[in-house]
Structure 1
C-alpha cells in the first residue's frame, strides 16, 4: 500500500513538473527576440525619442527659464490662424476622404465581375496612398492649375475655372490631398468591410429588419471603430503633410509651413524657441491621435476575433 502511494505521488509530481517549467520559460523574454529588437529600439531612441525630448525641453524652457510662454504664444496671435487652417484642411480631407474611401470599399466588396477590379483597386490604392509631395503637386498644377491642360480646355469652350477655383486655396489643397487620402482610407477600412458576414444580413432579414435597420444596428456599429480610426489617421496624415502644400501655396498659413519658416531663421533674434513650441504642439496632437486610433483598433479587433 505504501509503495502504491509513493508511486502515485511520484507520477503526480512528474506530471505536474513540465507545465510549471513551461510556465517559467514562458515568463522569460526570448533572447533572440530581444537581440532582434535592440537595433530598432536604439534607432527609435536616437532619432525619435531623444530629438523629441530635446524639442519639448526647449519649448518649455524659453530663454532658459521653465515656463509655458512659448507654448501659449505658438497658439495665439498670427500663429493661431495656422492651427485653424490646418484643422480645417485636415478635418475636411479626413471626412471627405473617409466617406469616399468607405463607399469605395463597400462597392468593391460587392463587385464580382470583372474579377480584376478588386486587385487593381488594391494595387492602385497602395501606390496612390504613398504618392505626395512635389510630383503630386506638379501633376495637379499641370492639369487644373492656372495654365493647366484641363483649365485651358474648359476656357476654350467658355468655362473659366480660374475665377471660382484655385489650387493655392484651402479648397484646392484639400482637393489635392484627397488623391492620397481616399486610397489610404480604402486600405484601412477594406479589411473591416470584408469582415462583414453575409449570414448577419441574412439573419437580420429573416427577423424582419430592412436594409436601413441592418446598417444602423448591425453593420454600422461594427464598422464605426474602423471608420473613425481611419479618419483619425487621415487627419494626422493631412496635418503633418508639408511638401505638397508648400509647392501649391507657400504663403498659406499652415502649421508645417510655419515650422519651416521659423526653422529657416526667419524670426526675430531671441524667438527661436517658437519653432520648438510649434513642433511640440504638433507632437502632442499626433500623440493624442495615435492613442485614439489604438483604442478604436482594440474595439474593432473584437469583431475580427469573433
Structure 2
C-alpha cells in the first residue's frame, strides 16, 4: 500500500518592507524634504536683506562711473582697474603682507601655547587660559590701539622703562601693527586649535611608542599630518581676521602704513579726493573677493579636519 501524499501548500513570498505597493505614494521622501523648506525661509530672507542687497549695490556701483560735469553714469571698468594700480595696489599688497605675517606667527604661537596647556594636565590652568583667551580675542579695535600707545608708544611706560627708543623701535610702523594684531590673534588661535589637539587620541601615541618612535617622530609622521588641516584652517581664519581689521591700524598708524581698509575709509570720507565713493566700493569689492577665496579654502580644510578628529 502506498500512502497518498498530500499536496504541500506553498506560502506566497513575503513582500519586502521597502517594496511599495500599488497605489502607494512614491514621492514621500521628496514631500518630507519640501516640508522643511519653510523653516529656513527666514534665514535666507535675512541673508538676502543684510548681505545680498549691500553686496549687489556695492558690485553695481563699483562698475559705475559718474561724469562730474553732466552727472550721468555709465558702466566701466575704470574704478576696478584704478583700485588695482598705483597707491591702491600698494595698500592691497600691504594688507595681504600684514595679514600673512600675522597669521603665520599667530598660528605657530597659538598652537604651541595650546599644546603646552594640554601637556600640563591641569584643568584649572586650562580653564584660566581658555577664559583669558576668550577675553583677549575680543579686545581689539580702538581700545587696543590706545592701550598699546600708552604702553609702547613714544612716551609709553614700557618704552621709557626699557629705553626702547635707543634700539630704534617704533610702535607706529609695520612691526608695531604686527605686535598689536598678535595680541588678539594668538588667543583666538588658542581657542580655535584646542579642540583639534584634544582630538589626537592617546592610542596613537601609545602605538607609536610601542613601535619605538620618539616624540619628534610621532609629531612628524602622525601628529602634524593629522593636525595639518586644522592648522591651515586656523591660519586661514587668522588671515581673514587680520585682513578685515581696521580700527586698530587707523588709530595707531593712520595713513603712514598703506592698508586697503584705511584707503577705503579715506575715499568714503573724501579726505583725499571728493567723489571717490565708487572707487572705495571697487576696493571693497576686491576685499570681498579675497574673503570669498579665504572661505572657499577654509571650508574643505574644516571638513577634512572633522573627518580625522571628529
- TM-score of the two chains, using structure 1 as the length reference: 0.87
TM-aligned CA deviation for residue 210 of structure 1: 2.1
Match of 2:258 in 1: 253
How many pairs does the alignment contain? 294
Instruction: Tell me which of 126, 132, 136 is aligned to 1:128.
Output: 136
In structure 2, do the counterparts of structure 1 residues 98 and 21 end up closer, same or farther at CA, with 3 Å as the change threshold?
farther
Is there any run of 5+ residues in structure 2 with no aligned partner, and where?
1-7, 67-72
- TM-score of the two chains, using structure 2 as the length reference: 0.86
In structure 2, do the counterparts of structure 1 residues 223 and 271 end up closer, same or farther at CA, with 3 Å as the change threshold?
same
Q: Is the 8 A contact 2:267 2:280 kept in 1?
A: yes
Could you say which structure has the higher helix fraction? 1
Q: How many angstroms apart in 2 are the aligned matches of 1:123 and 1:107? A: 16
In structure 2, do the counterparts of structure 1 residues 26 and 194 end up closer, same or farther at CA, with 3 Å as the change threshold?
farther
Q: How many angstroms apart in 2 are the aligned matches of 1:168 and 1:133? A: 15
SS of the residue 1:89 aligns to: helix
TM-aligned CA deviation for residue 213 of structure 1: 2.0
TM-aligned CA deviation for residue 187 of structure 1: 1.3
Q: How many angstroms apart in 2 are the aligned matches of 1:27 and 1:89? A: 51
Please show how residues 153-302 of structure 1 align to structure 2 within 5 Å.
Answer: 153-154=161-162, 159-161=163-165, 164-251=168-255, 252-268=257-273, 271-302=276-307
C-alpha RMSD over aligned residues: 2.5
**Cα offsets for 1:48-89 (capped at 9, x unmatched):** 111111111222333444343321210211112111211121
Moved more, 278-287 or 202-211: 202-211
Structure with the greater alpha carbon radius of gyration: 2
Is there any run of 5+ residues in structure 1 with no aligned partner, and where?
none
User: Is 1:61 aligned with 2:64?
Assistant: yes
